[in-house]
């Protein structure tokens, strides 16, 4: 893999840390601004909404720019946003700064996916996407625990200063290693891009992404109470077990990329099926400490094994200039899936059948994603036939 690809990985690492590290600092933030922990938790929701809103808007606005320029500009927004978080004088200001930071998230991964696939041979495109997303997985297993420790030792503002420094480093690395490109100024047409992503296979691909990750986050959001109240682990044991989840993310992410390079459709269906099976069996695994740890790792592996196939699917179906917008929309779809999954898991807990049934209910989401993918494949097969019939007429 070319060095330029690892420049994208560096940017992905910084974005991953700033998205998830707030989870470990909710108590410190709530104490500083005298708000409830639930209100502090809304900083996570605000970030997710910023990703969903920013991904399509910034991708359209920067559609004619050179992609290297776009990525560097996004990392500048990211860096300024984290500096604003570190300096936030109030809860409202911190929320606004989090949303500002999130605007860069979706477009960075969306445009970055297109750039990554252009840096490698045709048969390595999914692996290139996976390498970029490795920055996000490493952020979960290394960056977030370190950022949490830093915030607990020196104050939560220190964590955001550290992440801003990561942003500065990422800007320098991107500027040095990414090759120059002319962009698509002459061909950029947001209307044509919207028509490209409005194609049925692309829309169904977004739906599969939402459903697949809704299954993962329905369980992951409530993994701590599941491990303590059902499996019987102590509170102190949860963090080391989550390292197993992080290791699964890295392995599954890279494996999914390699499988998708060999054969996209079988890998897409296969990874979604594997995720559904793991989530369903996790219902029973939670009653054994050894099995629970194993399945936490398998959930991470099968969950992130779907990322590269899903991302490559929407890029292929959008074609041409519409790839950047489709790729960014798909990042927004991942985050929408996270939000829906968290809501669905909470509904199962609050209104029945209860915490122990969350993994089984979550398994229905990737199964639904498989059904949607099969519908998309059928639509693709029938489209050429209809085109032939109309041309013959």
The pLDDT tens digits of the residues spanning 92-122 come to 999 999 999 988 888 888 888 888 888 888 8
128 pLDDT higher than 90: no
244 pLDDT higher than 80: yes
pLDDT at 392: 45
Half-sphere exposure at residue 9, Cβ-oriented, CA atoms within 13 angstroms: 19
Euclidean distance between CA atoms 171 and 190, whole angstroms: 27
pLDDT at 109: 84
CB 2 within 8 A of CB 140: no
pLDDT at 368: 96
Strand, coil or helix: 186: coil
Q: Please state the rounded mean pLDDT for residues 337-357.
A: 85
Going by pLDDT thresholds of 50, 70 and 90, the confidence category of residue 289 is very high
DSSP state of 180: P
The pLDDT tens digits of the residues spanning 162-218 come to 999 999 999 998 898 888 876 554 445 667 767 777 788 888 889 999 999 899 988
276 pLDDT higher than 80: yes
End-to-end Cα distance, the chain: 49
Q: Please state the rounded mean pLDDT for residues 232-248.
A: 85
User: Residue 172: which residues within 8 A CB-CB, separation 6 or more?
Assistant: none
387 pLDDT higher than 50: no
Euclidean distance between CA atoms 306 and 328, whole angstroms: 16
| pTM of structure | 0.78
Which domains are present in the chain? Answer: 1-188 (1.20.1250.20), 189-393 (1.20.1250.20)
| Distances from the Cα of 84 to the Cα of 81, 96, 100, angstroms | 5, 9, 9
Tokens describing residue 89 = 């004088």
- What DSSP line would sit under 263-321, residue for residue? -HHHHHHHHHHHHHHHHHHHHHHTTSHHHHHHHHHHHHHHHHHTHHHHHHHHHHHH-TT
Going by pLDDT thresholds of 50, 70 and 90, the confidence category of residue 62 is confident
């Amino acid at each position: 893999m070319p060095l330029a690809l690892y420049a994208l990985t560096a940017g992905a690492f910084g974005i991953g840390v700033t998205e998830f590290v707030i989870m470990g600092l909710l108590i410190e933030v709530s104490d500083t601004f005298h708000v409830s922990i639930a209100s502090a938790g809304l900083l996570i929701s605000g970030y997710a909404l910023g990703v969903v809103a920013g991904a399509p808007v910034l991708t359209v606005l920067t559609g004619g720019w050179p992609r290297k320029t776009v990525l560097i500009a996004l990392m500048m927004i990211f860096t300024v946003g984290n500096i604003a978080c570190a300096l936030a004088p109030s809860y409202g200001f911190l929320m606004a700064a989090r949303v500002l930071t999130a605007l860069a998230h979706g477009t960075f991964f969306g445009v970055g996916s297109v750039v990554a696939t252009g840096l490698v041979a045709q048969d390595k495109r999914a692996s290139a996407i996976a390498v970029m997303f490795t920055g996000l997985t490493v952020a979960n297993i290394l960056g977030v625990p370190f950022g949490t420790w830093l915030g607990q030792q020196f104050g939560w503002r220190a964590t955001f200063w550290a992440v801003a420094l990561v942003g500065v480093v990422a800007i320098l690395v991107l500027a040095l290693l990414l090759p120059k490109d002319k962009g698509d100024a002459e061909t950029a047409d947001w209307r044509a891009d919207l028509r490209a992503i409005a194609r049925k296979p692309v829309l169904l691909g977004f739906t599969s992404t939402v459903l697949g990750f809704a299954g993962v986050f329905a369980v992951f959001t409530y993994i701590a109470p599941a491990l303590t109240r059902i499996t019987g682990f102590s509170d102190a044991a949860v963090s080391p077990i989550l390292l197993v989840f992080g290791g699964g993310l890295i392995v599954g992410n890279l494996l999914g990329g390699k499988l998708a390079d060999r054969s996209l459709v079988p890998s897409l269906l296969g990874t979604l099926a594997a995720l559904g099976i793991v989530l369903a069996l996790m219902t029973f695994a939670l009653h054994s400490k050894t099995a629970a740890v194993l399945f936490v790792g398998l959930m991470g592996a099968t969950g992130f094994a779907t990322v590269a196939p899903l991302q490559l699917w929407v890029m292929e179906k959008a074609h041409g200039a519409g790839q950047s917008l489709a790729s960014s929309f798909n990042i927004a779809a991942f985050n929408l899936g996270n939000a829906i999954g968290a809501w669905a898991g909470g509904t199962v807990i609050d209104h029945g059948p209860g915490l122990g049934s969350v993994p089984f209910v979550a398994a229905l989401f990737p199964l639904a994603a498989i059904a949607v993918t099969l519908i998309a494949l059928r639509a693709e097969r029938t489209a050429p036939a209809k085109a032939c019939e109309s041309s013959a007429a």
